[in-house]
Amino acid sequence: MQTTMTQLAPVPTRRDLEGKVAVITGGTKGIGRAVARKLAGRGCNVAVNYFRSRDAASETVAELEGLGVRAVAVRGNIGNKDFHQKLFDEVASAFDKVDILVSNAALGIYANVMDVDERAWDLSLHTNAEALLFCAQKAVPLMPPGGKIVSMSSLGSTRYIPGYSAIGISKAAIETLTRYLAYELAPKSINVNAVSGGFIDTDALKIFPNYDEMLREVVRRTPFGRIGTPEEIADVVVFLCTDAARWITGQIIIVDGGYTLT
């Protein structure tokens, strides 16, 4: 039974986002990089935030520029509230505006709820949920009407996953915050949504306890008989960043290959 798809989907050639500017946190690896590629392929200039790997950032910027757009990388810990102003100051300096914010960066410590300590709690809440709030607050003043904010959630926001407690709670906070932002920003013609991905083939999940066992179970329960790819999540994120999604706001879009049907 097939469990992964190794071939990347082609970068789209339509240029319907020409001249737009996107900020993607955690934008140099996995889902974030896939989103950056697809946005750039549609003509969108991109600022990617990263924390650790300068090499990955340089490679990402070069790839995006190769698609005919302007791209910059801004290093900093998105879980540190003091960094948010620096991030958007650099984006404003490079591009003058922000049309799209993709809050993708995520961190967490795997632990059952009775083992969660202050460090695990703070890491997940600050990097995952708090970053969405304060990045939105910094991005919105730079957004013209028609702006888009998309955050990343997961199935652990609504169902039990062993060892996922602090992360799952932070994802639930993201979903609630998405609805509040959507309502309050609608008068500014800004759409706010979240994408809740199922089990996706990324390096981040390979450190999950009992990864192999979980992979087998997910493949068994998923109607398509495989796990998802970052490109498949990115397709939905990018759709929500286009004018075709202008009547969608405050929604949590589940992208899991039908896993939650069983």
Residue with tokens 């490679």: 59
* Rg, C-alpha atoms of the chain: 17
| φ, ψ for residue 192, nearest 5 deg | -130, 120
First to last CA, the chain: 19
If you count them, how many residues does the chain have? 262
17 secondary structure, DSSP code: T
Contact (Cβ atoms closer than 8 angstroms) between residue 139 and residue 98: yes
Residues known to be catalytic: 164, 171
Question: CA triplet 162, 167, 169: central angle to 5 degrees?
Answer: 95
The per-residue b/e assignment along 12-41, b for 16 or more CB within 10 angstroms, e otherwise, is beeeebeebbbbbbbbbbbbbbbbbbbbbb
Asked if 60 contacts 86 with a C-beta cutoff of 8 angstroms, the reply is no
| Neighbour-count burial of 205, counting CB atoms closer than 10 A to its CB (0-12 exposed, 13-18 middle, 19+ buried) | middle
